[in-house]
Amino acid sequence: MTQNEDLSDVEAVLRGEIDRFEGIVARWEGPLVNLAWRYTRNEALAEEMAQEAFLHCFRKLRQWRRDAEFSTWLFALAINVYRSILRKRRPQIEEETALEVLAGACSTEAELLEDEQNEIVRRAVTYLPETYRDAIIIYHFDEMDLATTASRLGLPEGTVKARLHRGRKLLKERLEKVLK
C-alpha cells in the first residue's frame, strides 16, 4: 500500500505537482528522523539531517528506478546524506575519552544503571569507523533483517555480516575499557 502511495506521489511531483511531495514527507519523516537520531543522539541535529535528506530526495527524484522499492532508494540516499553531514561536522576527538567522560557523567554510583550503560553503548556505536557504524545502525534499525540492511547499504549480505561481526568486536573492546 505504501509503495503505491509513494509511486503515485512521485509521479505527481515529477509532473509538477510539488505539493504532493508532502505525502512522501508525511510517510517517511518518522523513519528518517529516527535513523538520523541513531547516528547523532541529538534530536535537533537529527531533524536537520532528515530535512536535508528530503531535499536531496526531491532533487534526485527522477533518478529513482522503479525496479527497487522507494523506501530502499530513499534510505540509501538518506544514509549517504547523513554520512556526508557527519564527516563535515564531527571533530577529531578521542572516542575513548568521549565515552569515559560520558560514563563518568552518567552516574556517581559504582555501578552504572542499565539504562545508562545502554546509552553508552549506543553512543559508542556512533564513534565506530563509518563502515561498521552504518552496518550496525541500519541492522538494528531494521530489526535485525539482514536482507533489508544489505539492500539499503547496497552491499552483499556476506559483506554486511562481516562488517557486523568486526564492528561488534571493536565495540566490545572499546566498551570493556570504558565500562570496566
Partner 1 sequence: MIDTALASDRTIVPSVSFRRSAMRRVRANVEVPPLPFPWKRLAAALGFAFVATVASIWAQADSAAISVDPIPLVPLVIAMAVVARLTAGRSATRTA
Q: Which three cell numbers stand for residue 66?
A: 522503479
For residue 48, the one-letter residue type is E
First to last CA, the chain: 49
26 in contact with partner 1 (CB under 8 A)? yes
C-alpha cell at 26: 508525511
Q: Which of 47, 96, 100, 145 binds partner 1 (CB under 8 A)?
A: 47
Does 33 sit near partner 1 (CB under 8 A)? yes
Q: Which residues of 133-143 are buried (b: 16+ CB within 10 A; e: fewer)?
A: bbbbbbbebbe
Of 13-21, 62-70, 100-108, 147-155: span binding partner 1 (CB under 8 A)? 13-21
**Residue type at position 60:** K
Is residue 97 within 8 A of residue 129, CB to CB? The reply is no
Site string for partner 1, 94-113 (x = CB under 8 A): --------------------
Quick check: 18 binds partner 1 (CB under 8 A)?
A: yes
CA 5 to chain centre: 24
State how far the Cα of 117 lies from the Cα of 179, in Å rounded to an integer: 8
Distance CA 94, CA 115 (A): 23
Nearest approach in angstroms of CB 27 to partner 1 is 11
Q: Which of 83, 161, 166, 168 binds partner 1 (CB under 8 A)?
A: 168
Site membership for partner 1, residue 11 (CB under 8 A) = no
Please select the residue that binds partner 1; options are 50, 128, 135, 160, rule is CB under 8 A: 50
Distance CA 102, CA 123 (A): 9
| Residue (91 or 126) nearer to partner 1, CB | 126
Q: What residue ranges bind partner 1 (CB under 8 A)?
A: 18-19, 21-22, 25-26, 29-30, 33-34, 37-38, 43, 46-47, 50-51, 54-55, 58-59, 117-119, 121-122, 125, 136, 140, 143-144, 168, 171-172, 175
